[in-house]
A and B are shown apart, each in its own frame.
Chain A
Amino acid sequence: MNLTLKIWRQKDGRSKGQMVSYKVSEISEHMSFLEMMDVLNEQLVNSGDEPVAFDHDCREGICGMCSMQINGEPHGPDRGVTTCQLHMRMFKDGDTITIEPFRAKAFPVIKDLVVDRTAFERIQHAGGFISVNTSGNTQDANAIPIDKHVADHAMDAATCIGCGACVAACKNASAMLFVGAKVSQYALLPQGQVEATERVLSMVAQMDKEGFGNCTNTGACEIECPKGISLENIARMNREYLKASLKG
């Protein structure tokens, strides 16, 4: 395939960026989107230009590092996949592909397509954990019986890889799907109950402090999430939050 790429180039956080057009040829439909980006970067390096900076690590859909807004959608047009799992067969010969960084005030651009997603980490630090004392007397987790359905829901919530596609897709740049998933994975299990009240209050407070927008239930996050995190998790977080607020 021969493709035209329109890519956001930005030297650093302070510079103004702009879209730049590139041409790549002989792209195999079996390549992943990031492999296609590698081809472009080799081409750029060979001609003495600055390669396009983009995030990636595992390249198998588990680390949540890869990002990119591809043709107006985070992780591109395919469903249930990250950018590293997106195949070039989703595109046609001669296509023009627009590639931009995830956009949100809380995700400032570091360079080109790389954005700073440490806001998510600060939200996690605010309460996305349980405190256990591993003194040797700790009860074995498997000794606490948990309904299979409940365990499954908790596991589903826990599959969130923190990629930020939910924020990127949302017209309001809201982080509620991410925070909803993180709150839910503990709220559903007995191990999460001890800190439940404090957890939801502090995580939501941190989310607001980071400057994410307000959820208006458009549902864009759920559709674009590579892990299929359900909107149910946002409803659960809202419930947990209301419960916690009443307790104070």
Chain B
Amino acid sequence: MGILSSSIARKVAMALSGLFLVFFLGQHFVINLTSVIASDTFNSWSHFMGTNGLVQGILQPVLIFGVIFHFVMGLVLEIRNRNARAINYKSYNGSANSSWASRNMIISGLVILAFLGLHFYDFWVPEIMYKYIESNPEDATRYFPEVVHKFESPVRTGLYVIAFVLLMLHLWHGFASSFQSVGFNNKYSKALTGFAKVYAIVIPLGFIFIAVYHHFNQLHH
């Protein structure tokens, strides 16, 4: 794998792609949040993201590459790490020295990946169909009703909530850990780790709130 042939290079690559995805997540969250505050803003921002050439032509492919890279790298690491201990312990007290989240990144990661499949099917595929296959004229007011409609289903809302809980666990370990991986461990680490931990809780909770809000809000009407 050339440049990624050493354990530290792989670790740094995992951290950097993770940080990129964390950044994207924050951006995604801000846009989603407007859907519960002001549907007009949500529509216009979504319209911009959906039609802007730079976003569609460059940022979107970069993002997809980022997700695939992070996943493939994670899988490679997992396989190598399993091989590094050929015979397992009969008794292994992992919780004595590390958190569940840190030891099970592959589980939370795979759940998030499965969620991304659903999420693509829910939003990305219909979007591509609408824009590029059926070549419908752009209607800048369609985004908000589309989102609200998706969260009618209690099953889908439930699946989203579960995925966000796993995302929380994944970020709880992953975000703060990425600073350590790139070699950042000094007097500012504590503050930065604190920020990462807060982010890991607040952002997924926010996503849960948005999904649940849209689900229950329409039951009233």
B-binding residues in A (CB < 8 A): 6, 8, 19, 69, 71-73, 77, 98, 100, 103-106, 169, 171-174, 176, 204-205, 207-208, 211-220, 223-224, 231-232, 234-242, 245
12 more contacts with CB within 8 A, not counting A214-B77, A219-B97, are A6-B90, A19-B90, A69-B91, A73-B96, A100-B89, A100-B91, A105-B84, A171-B98, A216-B77, A218-B99, A220-B97, A240-B183
Given A98-B90, A235-B183, are A219 and B98 neighbors across the interface (CB < 8 Å)? Answer: yes
Is B212's CB within 8 Å of the partner chain A?
no
Give the docked Cα–Cα distance between A242 and B11 (Å): 11
The contact of A171 among B94, B96, B182, B185, by CB within 8 Å, is B94
**Cβ–Cβ contact B181 & A218, under 8 A:** no
Shortest Cβ gap from B20 to chain A (Å): 17
Is B9's CB within 8 Å of the partner chain A?
yes
Give the docked Cα–Cα distance between A213 and B7 (Å): 8
In the A-B complex, the 10 residue pairs with the closest CB atoms:
A72-B93, A213-B84, A239-B183, A235-B185, A172-B81, A223-B97, A238-B183, A217-B177, A218-B98, A173-B84
Contact partners of B185 in chain A: CB under 8 A? 231-232, 234-236
Q: Write out, one digit per residue, whether chain B residues 1-36 have a CB within 8 A of any chain A CB (1) or not (0).
A: 000001111111000000000000000000000000
Q: Which residue on B lies nearest to A208, using beta carbons?
A: B7
The contact of B6 among A8, A204, A219, A234, by CB within 8 Å, is A204
Q: Write out, one digit per residue, whether chain B residues 53-89 have a CB within 8 A of any chain A CB (1) or not (0).
A: 0000000000000000000000001001101111111
The contact of B183 among A207, A211, A236, by CB within 8 Å, is A236
Give the docked Cα–Cα distance between A77 and B97 (Å): 10
Is B149's CB within 8 Å of the partner chain A?
no
Contact partners of A6 in chain B: CB under 8 A? 90
**What is the predominant secondary structure among interface residues of chain A facing chain B?**
mixed
Contact partners of A242 in chain B: CB under 8 A? 8, 12, 182-183
The contact of B8 among A100, A105, A169, A241, by CB within 8 Å, is A241
